[in-house]
């Protein structure tokens, strides 16, 4: 019996700073209904899907910052989305800004959750590779203050056995790091879910535009998929938010590394693929049979050294 997950990658167009959660959730429900009509079992939404990509704004006022975060999920703003998904028996992956911890020590994370078709939250991931900077940087063409607003994720890269397969998650910049996929690969991951908000130009090198950024996106997720024999579903928030463009190009990638579906627009767009999880087996059992071929006695530097130290 093939284990086929019909995945809907629900790319979202821009969300302006002045738009509230209601605008996002209404559009997410529209995408969910399309996914239902197409027979999807799982819908994947982007990173920080409920608001504009706020790390581009430099804020110091705590209440202004916290207004972008969610203490509970689901909550009053998102309940309708969760209810519709459960009614259809569709699992969802949702990225959002999470406030955890206690009243005295609140903790801020860039988070994604995985909810199964019965409405149970079965997985939680908190972004580990936070890009950007921790203080306002006048040298940049625009800000990317994730290191100011979020703590480094404290949950590692777990995987979850759910919905008939083994699922993992990572968030945006994590997808550029081979370690991200390998830690999940070593737990037998069969499908990695990723949301992203990638500016269409490099804030420190404006001549690096959408073409190169798209190339880097695809290079990273295709390599992660192939080298770990896993499906990868990478979903963008795209388009121009308050004058700043985010990359589109959401993709669903086969364990061979080939792209099987790709978004064409810079707006709300559902792309769908039938992902047979058993198609991960061939590479897992041959060229990437880790147990037979990995040589951990030569990999010590990976976990003992962070930065590069060239020889004298
Ligand atoms: N949201 C992100 O993590 N964005 C980064 C940008 C800053 C490079 C990314 O890797 O796409």
Catalytic residue among 40, 47, 241, 284: 47
Are the beta carbons of 190 and 254 closer than 8 angstroms? no
Atom of ligand 1 nearest to the CA of 213: 11
Is residue 47 annotated as part of the catalytic site, yes or no? yes
Is residue 172 annotated as part of the catalytic site, yes or no? yes
* Ligand 1 surroundings by CB, under 6 angstroms: 47, 131-132, 144, 172-173, 176, 196-198
Domains and CATH numbers, the chain: 4-304 (3.60.110.10)
Pocket of ligand 1, candidates 97, 148, 196, 213: which has the most ligand atoms within 8 Å of its Cβ, to mutate?
196
Directed axis angle between helix 21-37 and helix 79-88, to 10°?
Answer: 10
Atom of ligand 1 nearest to the CA of 127: 3
Catalytic residue among 86, 172, 237, 269: 172
Long-range contacts of 171-174 (CB under 8 A, 24+ apart): 171/47, 171/95, 171/110, 171/111, 171/112, 171/125, 171/127, 171/195, 171/196, 172/47, 172/127, 172/131, 172/196, 172/197, 172/198, 173/127, 173/129, 173/130, 173/131, 173/146, 174/127, 174/128, 174/129
Residue nearest to atom 4 of ligand 1 (CA): 198
Alpha-carbon span 196 to 46, nearest angstrom: 6
Nearest to 95 by CA among 160, 173, 34: 173
Query: CB-based contacts of 103: which residues, under 8 Å, 6+ apart?
Result: none
Whole-number Å distance, alpha carbon 213 to ligand 1 midpoint, is 10
Whole-number Å distance, alpha carbon 199 to ligand 1 midpoint, is 7
Alpha-carbon span 257 to 296, nearest angstrom: 24
Is residue 127 annotated as part of the catalytic site, yes or no? yes
Matching residue, tokens 């996914």 = 35
Whole-number Å distance, alpha carbon 214 to ligand 1 midpoint, is 12
Query: CB-based contacts of 256: which residues, under 8 Å, 6+ apart?
Result: 225, 226, 283
pTM of the model: 0.98
In terms of phi and psi (left: phi > 0; alpha: psi -120 to 50; beta: otherwise), the region of 161 is: beta
Query: CB-based contacts of 175: which residues, under 8 Å, 6+ apart?
Result: 194, 196, 217, 220, 221, 224, 232, 234
Catalytic residue among 40, 98, 127, 190: 127
Tell me the pLDDT tens digit for each residue of 237-273: 999 999 999 999 999 999 999 999 999 999 999 999 9
Tell me the pLDDT tens digit for each residue of 164-180: 999 999 999 999 999 99
Residue nearest to atom 10 of ligand 1 (CA): 173
133: how many CB neighbours lie within 10 A of its CB?
Answer: 18
Matching residue, tokens 């959730």 = 25
Per-residue pLDDT of the chain (312 residues; tens, 9 = 90+): 679 999 999 999 999 999 989 999 999 999 999 999 999 999 999 999 999 999 999 999 999 999 999 999 999 999 999 999 999 999 999 999 999 999 899 999 999 999 999 999 999 999 999 999 999 999 999 999 999 999 999 999 999 999 999 999 999 999 999 999 999 999 999 999 999 999 999 999 999 999 999 999 999 999 999 999 999 999 999 999 999 999 999 999 999 999 999 999 999 999 999 999 999 999 999 999 999 999 999 999 999 999 999 999
């Amino acid at each position: 019996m093939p284990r086929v997950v019909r995945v809907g990658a629900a790319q979202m167009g821009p969300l302006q700073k002045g738009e509230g959660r209601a605008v996002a959730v209404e559009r997410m429900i529209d995408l969910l209904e399309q996914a239902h009509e197409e027979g999807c079992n799982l819908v994947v939404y982007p990173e920080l899907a409920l608001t504009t990509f706020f790390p581009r704004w430099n804020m110091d006022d705590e209440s202004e910052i916290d207004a972008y975060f969610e203490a509970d999920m689901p909550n009053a703003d998102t309940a309708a989305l969760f209810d519709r998904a459960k009614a259809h028996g569709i699992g969802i992956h949702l990225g959002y800004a999470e406030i955890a911890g206690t009243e005295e020590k609140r903790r801020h994370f860039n988070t994604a959750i995985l909810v199964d078709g019965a409405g149970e939250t079965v997985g939680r991931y908190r972004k580990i590779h936070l890009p950007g900077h921790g203080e306002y940087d006048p040298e940049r063409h625009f800000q990317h203050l994730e290191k100011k607003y979020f703590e480094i994720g404290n949950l590692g890269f777990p995987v979850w056995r759910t919905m008939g397969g083994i699922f993992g998650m990572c968030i945006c910049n994590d997808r550029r790091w081979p370690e991200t996929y390998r830690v999940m690969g070593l737990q037998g991951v069969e499908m990695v879910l990723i949301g992203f908000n990638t500016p269409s130009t490099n804030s420190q090198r404006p001549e690096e535009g959408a073409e190169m950024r798209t190339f880097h996106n695809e290079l990273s997720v295709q390599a992660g998929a192939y080298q770990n024999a896993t499906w990868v579903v990478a979903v963008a928030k795209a388009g121009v938010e308050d004058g700043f463009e985010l990359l589109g190009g959401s993709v669903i990638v086969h364990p061979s590394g080939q792209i099987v579906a790709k978004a064409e627009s810079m707006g709300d767009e559902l792309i769908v693929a039938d992902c047979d999880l058993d198609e991960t087996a061939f590479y897992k059992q041959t060229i990437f049979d880790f147990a037979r071929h990995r040589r951990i006695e030569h990999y010590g530097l990976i976990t003992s050294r962070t930065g590069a130290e060239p020889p004298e």
